[in-house]
Structure 1
Amino acid sequence: VSGEMDDREWKNAPEIVQFLRYPATSVVIGICTLIWIYIYRNGIDYAHVGSSYRHVVIEHQYWRALTASLSHISIIHLGFNMFSSWQLREMEKAIGIAEYFRLTFIFLLVSICMQQSLHAILARTRFGERTQNTIGVGYSCVVFAWMTFASLKTSSSSLNLVFFKVPYSLSPFFSLILTQMIIPNVDFVGHLAGILAGYVEGWGFLTWLTGYW
């Protein structure tokens, strides 16, 4: 008798047991959840952990880029992002734990750069004052980057997004619209930045940096 569970046994196992099969995804979900609990129990306002163009670019508070990406104020926002991360868990199995963490780090950095670049462009328009002071929080940028990357790499036909199954190729844009509809004051620019980060990595524009990270 084999000491390891086969694919069918894993799929039939309780959800909590399946976390053992996707340790990297589970670690990300665990970290974001623990941070949310800390923020909630201590009554920390999103302005203290969030990022904005003014905070990061003008005032050089670079640490906010990290705290904002891992923090959630709303339980709905946390739940949506963690559910989406879990739905993308097969990417971890396909590429391995180390590569999953490496790409997550890349998506985090690139989405931040994309986000601030988009805000820099908008800052020169009539929306300048608003875009400079818009504060964003959440793991959404990385989720959208992973979703986009997966849409380019996976052979699956559809992705399960809460109440809907959508074509993988359209899933990033469908999620972008869905998130705008169900979560108030969501950062559209941040989510778009995540999609762009996914395409940048998925299309191989960062291949030349592989030896450096």
Structure 2
Amino acid sequence: MATPAALPPLPFNPSRVRSYLVRLPLFTRLVLLVILAFWLLELQTMWSVVQWGALIPDEINLGTMYRLNTYPLIHTGFFHALLNALALTPLLERFEAEHGTLTSIALFVGPLSTFPAGIYLLIEKVILHSNTSVVGSSIWVFLLLGSEAIRTYKSNPHFSLGPYKIPTWTSPLFACVVLSILVSNVSFLGHLCAILIGYLFGLGYLKFLVPPEKILRWIEGKLNLLGRLPHYISVDQKTFGRYGVLPSSNNAANGNNGTPMSFLGTNQRLGA
């Protein structure tokens, strides 16, 4: 009897993937769970989650302001949700590790969702007189890429492309253009709005929106969040470190400080 042929090796190490997922911080986990929950809800046919939570310019009023927060969490299909989750996870995980869980919640539930949405609505309604809807967490992907690009620019102003030296801060713009060319029905304008807010955040112009550390430390101490919540990251990294342990330089030594751009998600453009 012939010996069955051996299966080809997997392109990734499952144990490393599992180890990475187990170490994800709290807010990043919650975002991924909410994305999954909304996708599962969209499988039923009695109520359209997309129409309920999408950023639709003509549907924005005092009673539907929740759309300014829900649109990054809603997707139009499995692959849309999967690709956005793959793109968002390393970026959001790094942001939360550097800024803390409470700060991440305050920023992404607040200005890092509403500001790109506000600029998008202003351009769509006032300038373009259009009503194109958008959904998808790639709004956060490009926002974080914009912030990371500014940080990279400060230490490495240029990268070489043949004989040309291109400013590193332009990399999210380049990715935005390429994605819009290769993938149909994506929101080019939505991604540009997110990159703009990412640039402003990276340059420090939105620093006033970050909650004061004194207040965050008081909340953390009063509620004992670090002791009660698994995978919670304290705002005081110098004292507690990531996940409540002393900070380590292993990431820097292993060269993990680069901007993760292995995947680029898409912000789904709905309507004509």
TM-score by length of 2: 0.59
**Which whole-Å CA distance do the structure 2 matches of 1:185 and 1:63 have between them?**
24
Identity %: 23
Counterpart position of 2:119 = 114
Q: Which moved more, 1:95-104 or 1:32-41?
A: 95-104
Counterpart position of 2:208 = 208
- Secondary structure in structure 2 of the residue aligned to 1:14: helix
**Which whole-Å CA distance do the structure 2 matches of 1:12 and 1:93 have between them?**
23
Structure 2 residue 16 is the aligned partner of structure 1 residue 14: yes
1:158-195: CA deviation from partner (whole Å, max 9, x where unpaired):
xxxxxxxxx96344223312432344321222111111
1:17 is aligned with what amino acid?
S
Structure with higher RCO (Cα < 8 A, 6+ apart): 2
**Which whole-Å CA distance do the structure 2 matches of 1:45 and 1:186 have between them?**
19
Counterpart position of 1:4 = none
Equivalent of 1:100 in 82, 100, 104:
104
Counterpart position of 1:163 = none
Q: Where in structure 2 are there 5+ consecutive unaligned residues? A: 1-12, 157-166, 216-272
Displacement of 1:111 in angstroms is 1.1
Q: Which moved more, 1:19-28 or 1:59-68?
A: 59-68
Counterpart position of 2:188 = 188
Which runs of structure 2 are paired with 1:24-173 in the superposition (5 Å)? Answer: 24-42=27-45, 44=48, 46-56=50-60, 61-88=64-91, 89-105=93-109, 106-123=111-128, 128=129, 131=130, 133-154=131-152, 169-173=169-173
4+ long deviations beyond 6 Å:
none
CA contact (8 A) 2:54 2:67 kept: yes
Displacement of 1:153 in angstroms is 2.7
**Which whole-Å CA distance do the structure 1 matches of 2:43 and 2:177 have between them?**
27
TM-score by length of 1: 0.73
Q: Which moved more, 1:69-78 or 1:20-29?
A: 20-29
CA contact (8 A) 1:22 1:92 kept: no
Larger radius of gyration: 2
**Which whole-Å CA distance do the structure 1 matches of 2:16 and 2:104 have between them?**
23
CA contact (8 A) 1:114 1:197 kept: no
* 1:45/1:183 CA distance change after superposition, 3 Å: farther
Q: Where in structure 1 are there 5+ consecutive unaligned residues? A: 1-10, 158-166
Displacement of 1:71 in angstroms is 0.5
- Secondary structure in structure 2 of the residue aligned to 1:136: strand
1:84-124: CA deviation from partner (whole Å, max 9, x where unpaired):
1123133332333233333323311211122112223423x
Counterpart position of 1:164 = none
The number of aligned residues is 188
* 1:120/1:156 CA distance change after superposition, 3 Å: same
CA RMSD of aligned residues (A): 3.2
* 1:168/1:78 CA distance change after superposition, 3 Å: farther
* 1:178/1:81 CA distance change after superposition, 3 Å: farther
1:134 is aligned with what amino acid?
T
CA contact (8 A) 1:144 1:195 kept: yes
CA contact (8 A) 1:78 1:138 kept: yes
Question: Normalized per residue, which structure has more helix?
Answer: 1
Displacement of 1:34 in angstroms is 1.6
